[in-house]
Amino acid sequence: MAANFASRCFRAGRSLLGGLGNNLSDLVNTSREVTPCNCLSQQQRSFIQMRTVLKVVDNSGAKKVMCIQALKGKKGARLGDTIVASVKEAYPNGKVKKGKVVYGVVVRAAMQRGRCDGSEVKFDDNAVVLVDKQGQPIGTRVFGPVPHELRKKKHVKILSLAGHIA
C-alpha cells in the first residue's frame, strides 16, 4: 500500500514538473557547481594573540614561535608591536634553541592596517623578528618585505637589516 502511494506521488510530482524535465536537473546540478568558498580569502583576520604561531624571518636560528603574550593592547598585537613568544621549531646550530622564551617584533601581519594616505597594507602570513630586551635584533639579516610603519614604532635597526621595505 505504501509503495503504491509513493509511486503515485512520484508520478504526480513528475507530471507537475511537465516539460521542465532536464532543465530542472540542470538547475540542480548548476547549483552544486557553484565554486566552493575560498576559506583563506573569507577568513576572519584577527590580532596576533595568545597561541598564535608566527614565522621567524631572521637568521637567529628559530623557525616558528608561538605567541605567549602581546605586550601592548588588550586585544592583541599588530604591525610593529612587541610580543613575548616561545620557540617551537629551531635550526640545530642557531643562536636560539627550542623552548626558549624570547621577545619579537611583528613585521608582517595578516590583519589589514590602514595607512595615512588611505591605502591599506596586509600580508599573507604572520611573521616576527626576534629581539632582545632592549629591542635590538638577535639576527643579522631580515628576509622578505617589512612595512615602513616600523619607523614610527622606533624599530629602525630592523628596517636597516631588511632587504625590501613595503
The full set of domain ranges for the chain reads 2-34, 45-165
Cα distances (Å, whole numbers) of residue 69 to 45, 53, 110, 116, 143: 18, 12, 18, 28, 24
Query: What average pLDDT does the chain have?
Result: 80
Place of cell 613568544: 85
CATH architecture classification, 45-165: Beta Barrel (2.40)
Coil, helix or strand at residue 137: strand
The closest of 138, 59, 70 to 109, measured between CA atoms, is 70
The closest of 69, 72, 88 to 80, measured between CA atoms, is 72
pLDDT tens for residues 9-63? 444 444 444 554 555 445 444 444 444 445 544 566 788 989 999 999 999 999 9
Q: At residue 48, what are phi and psi to the nearest 5 degrees?
A: -85, 115
pLDDT tens for residues 111-123? 888 888 998 888 9
Instruction: DSSP for 78-128, please give it.
Output: -TT-EEEEEEEEE-TTSSS-TT-EEEEEEEE-SS-EE-TTS-EE--SS-EE
